[in-house]
Amino acid sequence: MKNKDIHNSLGFTLVDLIISIGIFGVITAMVMVNYRAGNRNDTVRQSASISASVLRRAQTMTLTGALTAGVFPQGGYGVRFDEADNNTMILFADIDGNFAYTPVTDTDIETINLPGNAVFESNEDAGSTGSLDVVFSPPDADAYFDGLTSSNSKQISFSARSSDAATIVIVYRLSGQIRVQ
């Protein structure tokens, strides 16, 4: 009887092992779910940061008088956000001076793809075309939205597919300020 009690207290039983593996599995699953959610949040923040950087680049190119094909574009430089391709932005030179993107006459400088599964949505008014052109006009880099000065600011929302993570980039027309919230 004494020998049997010593033998039982020296090791794990099969039930102990199964419970330990189950606890480890639950903890691992929780860590993986939180990691993926955190990764989506980082992708959204990174996309908004990239967008703000591209907008600032267009603004700086306008202020410094950067040349495209040897000339300064009449309307300055801008960024196109097109919801038909909502994970790609276009940095362009407004050659025709209409303060909006015109594919035939304007010069595409760079196409920027957002990382991961991030997408944007321009918070347009009713009747919008599903795109937003932000053009910084010379000499002071005032912002035009789709060729107009009717709005004081515009917002571009960034999110990740199948996630509730969201970040907003705001462009103010007169001050040229670009904020990430």
Q: Which domains, and CATH codes, for the chain?
A: 2-180 (3.55.40.10)
In this structure, what token pair is assigned to residue 89?
A: 């932005």
Between CA 161 and CA 115 the distance in angstroms is 12
Between CA 82 and CA 88 the distance in angstroms is 8
pTM of the predicted model, to two decimals?
0.78
pLDDT tens digits for range 28-49? 888 887 776 667 778 888 989 9
In this structure, what token pair is assigned to residue 56?
A: 């600032």
Q: What Rg do the C-alpha atoms of the chain give, in angstroms?
A: 26
Q: 35-67 in b/e burial notation, b at 16+ Cβ within 10 A?
A: eeeeebbebbebbbebbbebbebbbebbbeebe
Q: How far is CA 164 from CA 4, 44, 156, 159, in A?
A: 58, 10, 16, 7
pLDDT tens digits for range 55-102? 999 999 999 999 988 999 999 999 999 888 888 999 999 999 999 999
